[in-house]
Chains A and B, each alone.
Chain A
C-alpha cells in the first residue's frame, strides 16, 4: 500500500465516520444531562429524508442540511415533551421514536427515491496542509460539514468541562434533585440537551443522504444511529474517546470498500457485517468490567425527574 492508497483509505474512513461523529456527539450531550434517547436512528432517518427532500426540491444542499437539522430537532422535541413534560419511560419512548421515524421517513421519502440532487457540497482543501501525505487527504480536504464536525467536538469538549453552563448540564445528569435544590432549571437544561442531540442526529442523517451517498432509500442509515448510541457507551461519555471510536468505525467501514477494490477474496456480505460485529465485540469487552461503565455513566441516566 503506497501513500496515495493510504491517503484514500484514511480519507474514506474520515468521511464514513462523520455521521457517527455528529450523531454520537449529540447523544453524548443528551446523555450527559441524564436523558437516554434511544431514538437516534429515527431522528437520523428523519434528518436524512428531510435533508434529501429539501436539497432535491430547492437544489441547494445547504438548505437541505438546515432542514435536516430542524427535522432532527423536531423529533427530539416530541421525545422531550413525552419524557420530560409527561414523564413517560425514556427507553420505551426512544424505541417508539425509532419505529415512528423509520415508518414516517419511509412514507415521506417515497417520492424522492428516484430523484437526484442538482448541487453538491464542495470540498474545501486547506492550501498547504492538504499536501501532507496521508493526513492531507484525510483531514484537510473535507467538506465544510466535515470541518464543522471536528470543530464541534472541540466546542462541546470545552463547553462540558470548561464552562459553568457545561458544569450545570453535567450536574443535572448526575443528580437532578441536587441541581433543582441549587436553583438550576433542570427541565429546561434537559430540553436544551435533548434538542441539541436531535439537531446533531438530524445533521448526521442529512450529511449521510445529501453529502455522502447522494441518494435516499428506506432505512438509509442502516443502523448507524444504534452504532452512534453504542459509541457513546464505548467512549465512556468522553468526547475525545468518542471521536477516536467514530474514526475507528469509519476505518472498519472504509476497509470494506478497500478490500473490494483491491480484490481480497472475502465475500462482500461478510465485510458489510464488520462494523456491526465490531460494535458487539467492543461493547462486550467494555462491559466485562461493569465498574468502568458504572463510574463513568451519568448517575441519573434514564431516570425520570419529577419535583
Chain B
C-alpha cells in the first residue's frame, strides 16, 4: 500500500494524471486482491459433465 501511494504520486507528477486516479486505482487493486481470496477457499474443478452427482464442484 505504501508503494502504491508513492507510485500514485509519481504517476501524477510524471503523467499529469489527476490526483483522484490513484484512489480509484488503489480501490480496484484492493477489490481484485480481495476477490482472489475465493481461490484460497475453493479449488476450481473442470468437469466434463454438469455436476449432477454428489457435489464435485463447490
Contacts and interface: CB of A to CB of B under 8 A. Distances in A.
Interface of A: 78, 82, 86-89, 92-93, 95-97, 99-107, 110, 218, 306
Nearest to B18: A107
B30 A96 contact: yes
B23 A82 contact: no
> What does DSSP make chain A's interface, helix, strand, loop or mixed?
helix
A100 B20 contact: no
B18 A110 contact: yes
Contacts, number: 69
Contact of A104 (B19, B20, B35): B20
A92 B32 CA distance: 12
9 contacts: A82-B35, A86-B37, A92-B30, A96-B31, A100-B31, A103-B20, A103-B24, A107-B18, A107-B23
A93 B34 contact: yes
B21 interface: yes
Going nearest first, the 8 A-B pairs with the smallest beta carbon separation are A103-B23, A100-B27, A106-B20, A96-B30, A88-B34, A107-B20, A103-B24, A86-B38
B27 A96 contact: yes
B34 A96 contact: yes
Interface in B2-21: 18-21
B24 to A, nearest CB: 4
Contacts of A95: 30
Contacts of A92: 30, 34
